[in-house]
Amino acid sequence: FDKASEDVRQKADDVQTNLQCCGLFSYNDWEENIPDSCLCSRMQEDEGLCQTVSYRSLFQSTQQRKTIFSKPCFPTIMHFLLMIINVVMGVFLTLGMLAVLGMILSSIMIQQMRHRSRATMLMTVPAIFTAQPPK
């Protein structure tokens, strides 16, 4: 990410801020320029979401320490993508099953309309619901 364009870095910062993660696979994706979107707050540190890393900046000769999010972004992004894919597949599967059910029922109705002389097996009104002849 460190050598990516400014637009890509800005989007990565937004993702890291929202998902509370750092780097695609690890914080090393940023090399020595870990952005502020990776930094943890004191409350997040207390929750155990963070790790402390040491690194050497290009312009400084001393080691610096930052507390950053410990989890990478890739597993979280994949989790959300797979969840969306599962929902979409469920919707399409349901619509497909409804279409097949509609074709089956319409085929039965067409068959019954073509052969009126045969006793119908489906789509008949049971005898208990037919009106009794007047007395």
Q: How far is CA 67 from the centre of its chain?
A: 29
Prediction pTM value: 0.64
User: For residue 121, what pLDDT band results from cuts at 50, 70 and 90?
Assistant: low
Asked if residue 125 belongs to a domain, the reply is no
Asked if residue 67 belongs to a domain, the reply is yes
Give the range of the structural domain holding residue 20, as residue numbers without chain letter.
Answer: 6-72
Asked if residue 130 belongs to a domain, the reply is no
Cα–Cα dist 135/132, whole Å: 9
Residue 64, SS3?
Answer: strand
pLDDT at site 25: 92
Cα–Cα dist 26/75, whole Å: 11
CB contact set of 29 (below 8 Å; sequence gap of 6+): 1, 2, 23
Let me know whether 48 and 96 are in one domain.
no
pLDDT at site 3: 78
Let me know whether 23 and 60 are in one domain.
yes
Let me know whether 67 and 80 are in one domain.
no
Q: Give the amino acid at 114.
A: R
Cα–Cα dist 67/38, whole Å: 8
Q: In total, how many domains does the chain have?
A: 2
48 or 127, greater pLDDT: 48
Let me know whether 55 and 80 are in one domain.
no
Asked if residue 111 belongs to a domain, the reply is yes
Residue-wise pLDDT tens digits, 91-113 = 999 999 999 999 999 998 888 88
Asked if residue 68 belongs to a domain, the reply is yes
pLDDT at site 32: 76
Q: What percent of the chain has pLDDT over 70?
A: 79
Asked if residue 86 belongs to a domain, the reply is yes
Cα–Cα dist 84/69, whole Å: 25
Alpha helices in the chain (DSSP H): 6-19, 42-46, 74-114
DSSP structural state of residue 134:
P
How big is the CA angle at 59 (ends 57 and 63), to the nearest 5 degrees?
40
